[in-house]
A and B are shown apart, each in its own frame.
Chain A
């Protein structure tokens, strides 16, 4: 399935785009999405151990499964305040 992954902050700058489309085979987990992102966009490599994933606007662990149509976002640690 194809997932449109929203990117923010340094992840967006390194990827050069605010949304990246990645292809993952079903059934897929967040970990597999991270691996697919790394393949699709090697520029994200320096961030990869630290990248956080949100599915449906909730933080998602590596084991969480993904489904088509869910909103997915990927970003480095937050620094608001």
Chain B
């Protein structure tokens, strides 16, 4: 199951969705809005997506993960829009027969999502400036 949403992520419901009697392990990853990055203070983050492509890439990731690990159920939800400190921006939930598989698959899913899914975050720093985060690019003036 994959989803982009503007609403808060119900991670308890998401975790419940991937639970199964066929699985001995459930791993849940949450990405949350952090206050300090290299000493700079974040007030909030704005997320935007190229939504259709992001959804199809997220679905591809689940397919690729299913080919590599014996996944019983898996789900990825990414929230878009403005998020305050501590808010959950992304949730990845995976169930597998054994724990190693669940940790590995969950780790691969979030790592690969951050590399290929067309979603961007914009920092709102405490000095009033905004900055799109684009890995590998110099910071905007």
B-chain residues with CB within 8 Å of residue A76 when the two chains form the complex: 120, 132, 134, 137
Question: Which residues of B are at the interface with A, using a C-beta cutoff of 8 A?
Answer: 31, 47-50, 52-54, 56, 78, 89-90, 110, 113-122, 132-138, 140
A78 x B119 contact (CB < 8 A):
yes
Q: Which of A6, A59, A73, A79 contacts B134 (CB 8 A)?
A: A79
Chain A residues packing against B (C-beta within 8 Å): 6, 8-10, 13, 46-47, 50, 54, 57-59, 73, 75-81
User: Which residues in B have their C-beta under 8 angstroms from that of A47?
Assistant: 134, 137
Give bound CA distance, A10 to B120, whole Å.
Answer: 9
Interface of A is mostly: mixed
A66 → chain B closest CB, angstroms: 17
| Interchain nearest-CB distance for A54 vs B (Å) | 6
**A9 and B134 contact, CB distance less than 8 A:** yes
Contact A81 B113 (CB under 8 A): yes
Q: Which residues of A contact B89 (CB under 8 A)?
A: 80-81
Closest partner residue, chain A, to B92 (CB atom): A81
- Is the pair A80, B114 in contact by a Cβ cutoff of 8 Å? yes
Docked-complex contact B121 and A77, CB < 8 angstroms: no
CA distance A16 to B138 in the complex (A): 20
> For the complex, what is the distance from the CA of A46 to the CA of B136, rounded to whole Å?
12
A80 touches B120 (CB 8 A): yes
Can you identify 14 A-B contacts, CB atoms within 8 angstroms? A9-B120, A10-B140, A57-B52, A57-B53, A57-B56, A73-B118, A76-B132, A76-B134, A76-B137, A78-B135, A79-B120, A79-B133, A81-B31, A81-B89
